[in-house]
Amino acid sequence: MKYLTDYRNPELAKKILEEIKKTVTKSWTIMEVCGGQTHSLVKNGILDVLPKEITMVHGPGCPVCVTPLHLIDKAIYLAKEKGVILCSFGDMLRVPGSKESLLEAKAQGADIRILYSPLEAVQIAQQNPDKEVVFFAVGFETTAPANALSVIHAKKLGLKNYSILTSHVLVPPAIENIMEDVDAHIDGFLAAGHVCTIMGYWEYYPLVEKFKIPIVVTGFEPVDILQGILMVVKQLEEGRYEVENQYTRYVTEEGNQPAQDVIFQVFEISDRVWRGMENIPNSGYRIKDEFAEFDAIRKFDVQLEEAEENPECLAGEIMKGIIKPYQCPAFGKKCTPENPLGAPMVSSEGACAAYYHYTNVFSSPKK
Ligand code: SF4
């Protein structure tokens, strides 16, 4: 609790805000990579109090939002047509597939279970030897160790009825992709603190050099976010571009080595398609051949036609910081949490959901 109260301290937040105001002299656009940071920014009203020179845009760090449409369709197909027990984090359930969501499939009788850990899915596989159990393993580097561990654990137990449907994506290639997009104009980044807790921040040095942008590893509480913004603004105003670490209470340069060892025991780096964006080279993990029996894609021959994204959903442009959620014509009209056209409107880390729930963008000036 200490960290929560300290990092939500309004007096401390005000002091940092004053320092930001004193420091900034030019207009800067800063992207927070992680959807958790987006929600903290919006929910805590930080966007409303930042000086007008600072524009915050919202990055692709919402794992549910970037999970490709065809994988959601495959998960639904496995649950409905192949009779598997499909296990998933709750966040995934309301995300629209091409025809329906996992929640709708569950309502029609598919055995879809919401879990808090992939190790629970391994347990379900042990308890149901006559059923196939598939865990929908989505996420950034943060969730990869637990998903890899579930595979190692299942192998040790000799389970033949457990596999994972993987959509793991990586932050550094996404930053590179955004910086290379001619329509995105980002001056600095708040990197995602939890990803760096696992991976460290050494991976960001080449990006800082290549694009001459500050990257500050940042936490999620209001004081963290304000301090991260201040550190980026100071670098920009002083003409520096460095990797700095605001989240020192958890993040080290090298990261969590045992967690990285577990990841690379099971996964290897591969190209990945990001929903709303595109195929980004070396931007994800796939399961190594020696663990192929635990790869749901290789285990089940699912031949589904790849459906087209809803053309009205501008999620890709939002996740690259090109537009804000309220600039999508469907926002709050055709697209609402009750009737989402895209994942960012229903994910707990989605930028559209953050603006819909915590701002009055329909009546107040836009930030
Ligand atoms: S408001 Fe809805 S349709 Fe528009 S980008 Fe967000 S999720 Fe997609």
Question: How remote is the CA of residue 116 from the centroid of ligand 1, in Å?
Answer: 27
Ligand 1 contact via 345 beta carbon (within 6 Å): yes
**Positive or negative, the Cα torsion across 236, 239, 241, 245?**
negative
**Is residue 224 scored above 60 in pLDDT?**
yes
- Reduce the DSSP state of residue 132 to 3 states and report it: coil
* Among 348, 313, 349, CA closest to 330: 313
Name the DSSP class of 95.
Answer: S
Average pLDDT over residues 354-360: 91
| Sheet architecture: strand order including 112-114 | 112-114, 85-88, 133-139, 162-169, 279-287, 267-273
Give pLDDT tens digits for 92-135: 998 999 999 999 999 999 999 999 999 999 999 999 999 999 99
- Cβ atoms within 10 Å of 254's Cβ, excluding its own: 11
Long-range contacts of 119-123 (CB under 8 A, 24+ apart): 119/146, 119/149, 119/150, 119/153, 120/87, 121/87, 121/150, 121/162, 122/150, 122/153, 122/154, 122/157, 122/159, 122/162
**Is residue 338 scored above 70 in pLDDT?**
yes
Give pLDDT tens digits for 65-75: 999 999 999 99
Q: What is the pLDDT at residue 8?
A: 87
Question: How remote is the CA of residue 193 from the centroid of ligand 1, in Å?
Answer: 26
Reported confidence tier of residue 50, pLDDT bands at 50, 70, 90: very high
Length of the chain: 367
CATH architecture of 32-304: 3-Layer(aba) Sandwich (3.40)
Q: What is the pLDDT at residue 303?
A: 83
Please answer whether residues 103 and 137 qualify as being in contact, where contact means their C-beta atoms are separated by less than 8 angstroms: no
Q: What is the pLDDT at residue 301?
A: 83
Q: What is the pLDDT at residue 1?
A: 54
Ligand 1 atom at shortest distance from the alpha carbon of 356: 1
- Cβ atoms within 10 Å of 348's Cβ, excluding its own: 16
- Cβ atoms within 10 Å of 72's Cβ, excluding its own: 29
Mutate to test the pocket of ligand 1, among 335, 348, 361, 362 (most ligand atoms within 8 A of CB): 335
Return the bridge partners of 29, or none: 55
E strand or H helix at 243, and its extent? strand 243-245
**Is residue 363 scored above 60 in pLDDT?**
no
- Cβ atoms within 10 Å of 288's Cβ, excluding its own: 16
Exposure string over 139-170, b if 16+ CB within 10 A, otherwise e: bbbbbbbbbbbbbebbeeeebebbbbbbbbbb
Location of structure tokens 């836009």: 366
Ligand 1 atom at shortest distance from the alpha carbon of 344: 7
Residues 354, 355, 359, 364, Cα dihedral to 10°: 170
- Indicate which residue's Cα is closest to atom 3 of ligand 1: 313
Reported confidence tier of residue 167, pLDDT bands at 50, 70, 90: very high
Ligand 1 atom at shortest distance from the alpha carbon of 342: 7
- Rounded Cα distance between 170 and 282, Å, is 8
Average pLDDT, the chain: 94
Ligand 1 contact via 276 beta carbon (within 6 Å): no
- Reduce the DSSP state of residue 88 to 3 states and report it: strand
- Reduce the DSSP state of residue 31 to 3 states and report it: strand
Mutate to test the pocket of ligand 1, among 275, 277, 319, 341 (most ligand atoms within 8 A of CB): 341
- Reduce the DSSP state of residue 251 to 3 states and report it: coil
Q: Which residue type occupies 58?
A: H
Domain boundaries, given as residue ranges, for the chain: 32-304, 315-356
Question: How remote is the CA of residue 343 from the centroid of ligand 1, in Å?
Answer: 7
Ligand 1 contact via 223 beta carbon (within 6 Å): no
- Indicate which residue's Cα is closest to atom 8 of ligand 1: 313
Return the bridge partners of 166, or none: 137
Return the bridge partners of 138, or none: 167
